């Protein structure tokens, strides 16, 4: 009975996964687009990243504690971009991809245009949906976060980060698009570098921002499909249109 139960559960999971792919392909009917189903990372104990803590201390006029080893700290070290894991890891840009894939099992998808299908949008904040996107010879990190900027009012924040320097990031433009029930919402901007802090990007609102009612308008049975396209461009603009 135990063997049968486990096998039946695996079959149900496979059917559910294929159904999620079908829904995304139905919403984004463009031929050749790749679909990635992204499960949420949820934590009841949200631990802000070091860069967020340092920014808060600076704003409050409190200097972070000084340690002897911090005097030779390499400014090019990147903290882990998965804050819900409370991961203390940091390293150079060259090893960020391997850390995310090996330690946090972040999926990577290749192609100029893909569909990011985030499941279980109803989960309470804070919750993250993360995927790596490989195209044009670079790796990008798409982060969708459900977070309360004001108590009792969760919002969704979506941004694209280049696993590279700010100078390299200036060479690209990314587009996030939601399309459902004859409604379309698009955000286009220049990606930020992972050397910057994703928490700062979200707190500044320099990303696609959705309130709960707007997210529900574009979601389908608790899943949100976001079309992603990346191009090389020197033109910097950000627009939100509906």
For the residues of 27-68, what is the DSSP string, one character each?
A: HS--TT-EEEEE--EE-SS----HHHHHHHHHHTT-PPPP-G
Model confidence pLDDT, tens digit, residues 47-91:
444 454 444 433 444 333 333 333 344 556 778 877 556 788 888
| Mean pLDDT computed over 103-115 | 83
CA atoms within 13 A on the CB side of 90: 14
Question: Which CATH number is 31-41+74-232 given?
Answer: 2.60.210.10
Report residue 109's pLDDT band, with 50, 70 and 90 as the boundaries: confident
Mean pLDDT of the chain: 75
In the chain, pLDDT over 70 holds for what percent of residues? 66
Q: Identify the pLDDT of residue 70.
A: 39
| Mean pLDDT computed over 213-241 | 80
Q: Identify the pLDDT of residue 2.
A: 53
**Coil, strand or helix: which one is 148?**
strand
Q: Identify the pLDDT of residue 53.
A: 43
| Mean pLDDT computed over 131-136 | 89
Q: Identify the pLDDT of residue 209.
A: 95
Q: Which residue has the higher pLDDT, 57 or 225?
A: 225
Using the predicted structure, report yes or no on whether residue 225 has a pLDDT greater than 90. Answer: yes
Measured from the Cβ of residue 147, the count of other Cβ atoms closer than 10 Å reads 16
Using the predicted structure, report yes or no on whether residue 231 has a pLDDT greater than 60. Answer: yes
Model confidence pLDDT, tens digit, residues 19-43:
554 554 444 444 345 777 888 876 5
**To 5 degrees, how large is the angle CA 188–CA 170–CA 98?**
95
In the chain, pLDDT over 90 holds for what percent of residues? 33
Q: Identify the pLDDT of residue 160.
A: 93
């Amino acid at each position: 009975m135990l063997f049968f139960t486990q096998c039946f559960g695996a079959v149900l999971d496979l059917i559910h996964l294929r159904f999620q792919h079908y829904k995304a392909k139905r919403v984004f009917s463009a031929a050749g687009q790749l679909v990635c189903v992204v499960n949420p990372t949820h934590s009841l104990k949200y631990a802000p990243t070091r860069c967020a803590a340092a920014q808060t201390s600076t704003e409050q006029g409190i200097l972070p504690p000084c340690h002897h080893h911090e005097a030779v700290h390499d400014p090019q070290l990147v903290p882990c971009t998965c804050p819900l894991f409370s991961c203390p890891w940091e390293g150079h840009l060259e090893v960020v991809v391997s850390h995310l894939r090996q330690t946090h099992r972040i999926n990577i998808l290749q192609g100029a245009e893909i569909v990011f299908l985030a499941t279980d949008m109803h989960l309470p904040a804070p919750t993250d949906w993360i995927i790596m996107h490989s195209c044009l010879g670079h790796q990008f990190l798409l982060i969708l976060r459900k977070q309360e900027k004001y108590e009792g009012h969760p919002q969704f924040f979506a941004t694209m980060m280049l696993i590279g320097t700010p100078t390299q990031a200036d060479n690209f433009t990314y587009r996030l698009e939601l399309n459902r029930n004859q409604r379309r919402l698009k955000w286009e901007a220049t990606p930020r570098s992972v050397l910057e802090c994703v928490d700062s990007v979200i707190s500044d609102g320099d990303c696609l921002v959705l309130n709960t009612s707007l997210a529900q308008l574009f979601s389908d049975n608790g899943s949100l499909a976001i079309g992603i396209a990346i191009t090389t461009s020197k033109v910097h603009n950000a627009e939100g249109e509906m």
